[in-house]
Amino acid sequence: MTDCIFCRIVAGDIPCAKVYEDEKVLAFLDINPLMPGHTLLIPKKHAETLFDMSPEEAAACGAALQKVAAAVFKGLDAEGLNVLQNNYEISGQEIFHVHFHLMPRKTGDGFKVPWPAKKYGPGEMESVLQKILKAF
């Protein structure tokens, strides 16, 4: 897709700071990082969200994710690492070519993922579980 910025990076029309490449996957530094080493990992084949990828592309991303995360973690001398993947606008997706954020973490980096945990009401957990199980 020529109107997709990440497809243009894959095609070499837009430069990137390449971290990793194989037959199906590309990883490069985020241009507006939350911290140094913030890396994006994408399938080379265009897919808008996680749900639009083939199982083969998803598996290739999963395998590369572990490899690239390990290098980012080690190379940046990190103490932790977050993986974040946004699907659809409501979740914060801005670029509609599926991508995984790899974010190396250090004490005092100032990055905090809001985590407003809630409690299930009576019987709610079981009914939620059934909704998911029926959707496979």
Give the residue numbers marked as catalytic: 99
| DSSP class of 91 | G
| Residue indicated by tokens 């199980």 | 133
Assess 2 for contact with ligand AMP (CB under 6 A): no
Assess 128 for contact with ligand AMP (CB under 6 A): no
Strand order in the sheet with 100-105: 18-21, 25-29, 39-43, 100-105, 80-84
Number of residues that bind ligand AMP (CB under 6 A): 13
State the nearest-atom distance from the C-beta of 97 to ligand AMP, in Å.
9
Q: If you write DSSP's letter for every residue of 14-38 in order, what string do you get?
A: S---EEEE-SSEEEEE-SS-SSTT-
Assess 1 for contact with ligand AMP (CB under 6 A): no
Which residues 33-62 are close enough to bind Zn ion by CB under 5 A? 46
By a kind-dependent CB cut-off of 5 to 8 A, residue 94 interacts, out of ligand AMP, Zn ion, none, with ligand AMP
